[in-house]
Amino acid sequence: MSVGLMAVSTNAWAQVIDTYRARLSNQDHYNSSGTQLNSAAAIIRQDRANFYLFGKMDPEDESDAFFNDKGNRARLEKMLSRGMLSEDDLDVIVNGRPVIRVDIHQDHVEVTVEEH
């Protein structure tokens, strides 16, 4: 079962504009105020903010050309709601410290857990 899967045009769905891998470590599960994050979108967004804004990187973290922009990071939650993330992967992201792969499309992202 996928979370937030919507029908989109075939071209928009198929075209990947960027891909990156990242470890969602303990530091990514807390915002800059120290509040624990409890949604996959917030954790993934915090990972990108840690990478680009705060210089907090895990060894598995890769750069991307899309979420280095603060405005694009702000769109992440909406993009994830239009994309694909299985219930199992959602649980692993919120409750674990996985390595994920993020495929970025024009209007959505697809997230896959690669390592638990």
Task: Check residue 13 and give its pLDDT.
Answer: 53
CA gyration radius, the chain: 13
Calculate ∠ Cα 73-77-80, nearest 5°: 110
Task: Check residue 116 and give its pLDDT.
Answer: 87
Token pair in block for residue 90? 């959602």
Low-confidence ranges of the chain (pLDDT < 50): 1-10
AA letter at 20 = Y
Say how far apart CA 30 and CA 92 lie, in whole Å. Answer: 16
Task: Check residue 19 and give its pLDDT.
Answer: 97
Task: Check residue 11 and give its pLDDT.
Answer: 52
In this prediction the pTM is 0.85
Say how far apart CA 89 and CA 68 lie, in whole Å. Answer: 24
Task: Check residue 14 and give its pLDDT.
Answer: 73
**Exposed/middle/buried for 83, CB within 10 Å: 0-12, 13-18, 19+?**
buried
Token pair in block for residue 82? 């239009």
